[in-house]
Chains A and B, each alone.
Chain A
């Protein structure tokens, strides 16, 4: 085959050009640390890299979301810790106040103590986060959730739970409505409540009971009516029909009917009544207010109606505080569970982040060993091409003419 002189030059230059392009590409890979300099280098990998970058960044974003969630939950938990202590203290007071040797002054000082506690509790329930948002106001962060209207503390927030996106497909609630924590505390035993009639003349108290058979309990209002000091009737107030008439009364003996059971102690008078109603919400604030009222009662005799009412007040307060404590502890348990889940998600999130970054690096980062070895090889080939070109181009028959 003939080789035209022009072809020799053109081909040599073209192949040296190509070698230089390769070297430039490898140099760029080394300089940028990226294997894929343009999607055309590896279209599938480029698209995958863009997708992974997004997934990784979303994962990082979820991490910051979890930090925000942890901060809010920890703050709320800290406040509820104080609320727990406050309720325990109030319970202690209500127990201590049952000591029959207390005089009016001692009760008064206890009442002042509890009044202080009530105000402290309102303060705690109106806690704000670092940026001035009320924590227990639901979604109404700028509205002070608990206000003392003089006739009781009312809730002005809403029932919305704020949530954060803690992971793909997982939203974790980070707040709880103040109404659920402080306001929606069931009185009585949570199902029904018992209370002495306000005009009772005897010296008797009633103890919160239990539901013995939920299927039989119908949620009606009932009244125990003493027809003498030793006998009582049970009437269904809702239907107006008697349930059991002429029962013999023994102090402290369980009274059971329609799936419920409770005890009356002491010596009731004729026409004394005790009411059984379904439980209602009674806020912790109400409970404390009532406890203050009980403790502030001006005259408490050694026995008789005033004493019975005093003891009943303390026992109800104790019972309601216990109910409130359960609600607060239940909320804290839920918060703890959420915090634990956040911790678990943090671990998974970190693992995922490491994996995403490793995969991303595999897809798009330069393999330095390979790139450097490529570069060396390409340099060698280019040097060889240049040398052979300069040698061969020197050969001409004209030199010998």
Chain B
């Protein structure tokens, strides 16, 4: 009789426990990170009688957490990837939309500018046309500046995001360590029983942490979990927490880097090791999308400014003065690493605008040589000795010249960003419309009195001269070509005296003359005493020779080693950013659906299904009712016995 009571009570207890666990599940159906719990119910040890083993009822041995370690790790990895790609995609989209805007992109500004250059070439004397050219030049400069500002804003917002991401990482790490302490204590009190809800909380924190950065975890037997980031830097070991913080980049004062803070000491981490999650996304985005976009844009600015200036300086303005630079552009940025010990400082100048790349370069001194590395590919570009570099060297394939002053200590490094400041630093150098150098600086002339049929072609600036600029100081000297007879001539400079005496001329093929930095072609049959003159092209208000050449630059292949035009280079930038964004769009979508799949699988083990819980409620309720009935039967059996006695 007592046995039946005992069994009944154990059944009631078990059913109550079951209902409690089910209700707990229902209560936490929407709790993030919650894993459903089940009671572990076993039969009591049976009692041996001569008639066999009689069961002694049920016993709840533990509360189980439905959790699959393997799926958990998969979700973590999928999550870190997804948040990484999604964050990068969101950022990349901002850049991509910036460049692709049909009305706000660089294309319309370029078109307007060159359209105004063409207008000046049609009416070189028109001040109104010249004013328009200056206005649209200013618009072009402003457009580039606007781009740079938008990109700078994105860069600034990146710094903010990195700081808050690092703060989140530190906060998660602290909470994980605190939970480690609790869990270890609780597990020590009741060996073999896990504090399920605390485990869930800790797993949730690790999962949130993995959204910020990729982590690896190692579970310890006593119940704590160690968390590592990057290449095995410990973030949480048991109850000990290390933290990250942001520091100004040693090489780029506008950027933040992430450093490791261990026992109060800051230590550098290779930024490339910080992968996955939002933080990894910010670093990747900055290195792979933002910086190259800024550099490519800067390359267009420098290319445009340099080539346009070069042509402009080969012309003559309305006042008869030689053209000056139309645009001004920014010099390459060089930064010495903040930890440098030596006195060495680098300066960089543009040596060939068409050879410029959109890359950045780091210069590292190994004690003997200054090694120049491409920061994107980490490939060695060129090495120079200190003596060579002090003299100034053109770095092959980069379009820049580097020069060292002072000397570096071993291990010192420098960052060279040839085009990073160019879009921001471009400005219009000319505000006076009459200063647009539309005309040719020189003109050729044949006196009416010439008797022969000799003809001199237009005198042009000799573009084969190296260096082309500054122009030959004698370019505009008055030069007279006098024919001694039909096949011989003298060339006299009014300032310098004779340039050539008794040169031979073949009327059948003509001759190309090059003196003082100009060239002109002679054809036909001159007579003795015929003269031709080359002189300063003063008063040539209607001469658009030079502005016509400037207009031609619109479609000339002046960029990227002479393979493409300004617009082509911009097209490359659009397609580069567009491709990167598209790739991120596709991969982030794929990764999101991968995350959905893995999460679904994980939830199919750990998630709460309310219908299932309703069924369990019924199950335990019925078990409870049945046990109660058994107790009642036992009661009535006892009553029957009592009646026998009465």
Question: Does B9 interact with chain A (Cβ within 8 Å)?
Answer: no
Q: DSSP majority for the B interface?
A: helix
Contact A133 B542 (CB under 8 A): yes
Partner among B102, B443, B543, B611 whose Cβ is within 8 Å of the Cβ of A162 = B543
CA distance A14 to B618 in the complex (A): 33
Contact A34 B102 (CB under 8 A): yes
Partner among A48, A61, A397 whose Cβ is within 8 Å of the Cβ of B611 = A397
Contact A396 B572 (CB under 8 A): no
Contact A54 B29 (CB under 8 A): no
Interface string of B423-457 (1 = CB under 8 A from A): 00000000000000001100111101111000000
Contact A14 B596 (CB under 8 A): yes
Contact B603 A7 (CB under 8 A): yes
Which residues, 96 to 118 on B, are CB-close (under 8 Å) to A? 96-97, 99-100, 102, 105, 107-108, 110-111, 114-115, 118
Report B565 CB to chain A, min CB distance, Å.
8
Which residue of chain B is the closest to A6 with respect to CB atoms?
Answer: B607
Query: B115 to chain A: which residues have CB within 8 Å?
Result: 57, 61
| Given A141-B541, A160-B458, A401-B614, residue A40 in contact with residue B93 (CB < 8 A) | yes
Which residues, 379 to 416 on B, are CB-close (under 8 Å) to A? none
Contact B445 A131 (CB under 8 A): no
Question: Does B324 interact with chain A (Cβ within 8 Å)?
Answer: no
| Given A4-B603, A140-B539, A142-B541, residue A47 in contact with residue B571 (CB < 8 A) | yes
CA distance A47 to B115 in the complex (A): 21
| Given A39-B581, A48-B571, A142-B125, residue A6 in contact with residue B603 (CB < 8 A) | yes
Contact A38 B548 (CB under 8 A): no
Number of A-B contacts (CB under 8 A): 215
Question: Does A2 interact with chain B (Cβ within 8 Å)?
Answer: yes
Contact A65 B122 (CB under 8 A): yes
Query: A155 to chain B: which residues have CB within 8 Å?
Result: 448
Which residue of chain B is the closest to A60 with respect to CB atoms?
Answer: B115
| Given A4-B608, A158-B443, residue A46 in contact with residue B578 (CB < 8 A) | yes
Partner among B93, B539, B609 whose Cβ is within 8 Å of the Cβ of A5 = B609
CA distance A39 to B95 in the complex (A): 10
Question: Does A366 interact with chain B (Cβ within 8 Å)?
Answer: no
Question: Does B121 interact with chain A (Cβ within 8 Å)?
Answer: yes
Contact B542 A139 (CB under 8 A): yes
Question: Does A143 interact with chain B (Cβ within 8 Å)?
Answer: yes
Query: B119 to chain A: which residues have CB within 8 Å?
Result: 64
Contact B581 A3 (CB under 8 A): no
Question: Does A354 interact with chain B (Cβ within 8 Å)?
Answer: no
Which residue of chain A is the closest to B618 with respect to CB atoms?
Answer: A401
CA distance A129 to B617 in the complex (A): 100
Which residues, 111 to 156 on A, are CB-close (under 8 Å) to B? 131, 133, 137-143, 155
Question: Does B579 interact with chain A (Cβ within 8 Å)?
Answer: yes
Question: Does A51 interact with chain B (Cβ within 8 Å)?
Answer: yes
Contact A39 B99 (CB under 8 A): yes
| Given A40-B96, A47-B575, residue A68 in contact with residue B122 (CB < 8 A) | yes
Interface string of B76-102 (1 = CB under 8 A from A): 000000000000000011001101101
Which residue of chain B is the closest to A399 with respect to CB atoms?
Answer: B614
Listed A/B pairs (30) with beta-carbon separation below 8 Å: A2-B605, A2-B612, A3-B607, A3-B609, A4-B608, A5-B608, A38-B93, A38-B96, A40-B582, A43-B579, A46-B575, A50-B107, A50-B574, A54-B554, A58-B114, A61-B114, A68-B122, A138-B543, A139-B540, A140-B540, A142-B542, A160-B540, A160-B543, A162-B544, A280-B451, A281-B449, A281-B451, A364-B102, A396-B611, A397-B615
Sample of 17 further A-B pairs with CB below 8 A, known A5-B609, A58-B114, A165-B552: A2-B604, A4-B603, A4-B604, A4-B606, A39-B575, A40-B582, A46-B575, A50-B567, A58-B111, A61-B118, A131-B126, A133-B541, A133-B542, A139-B439, A143-B539, A278-B451, A396-B614
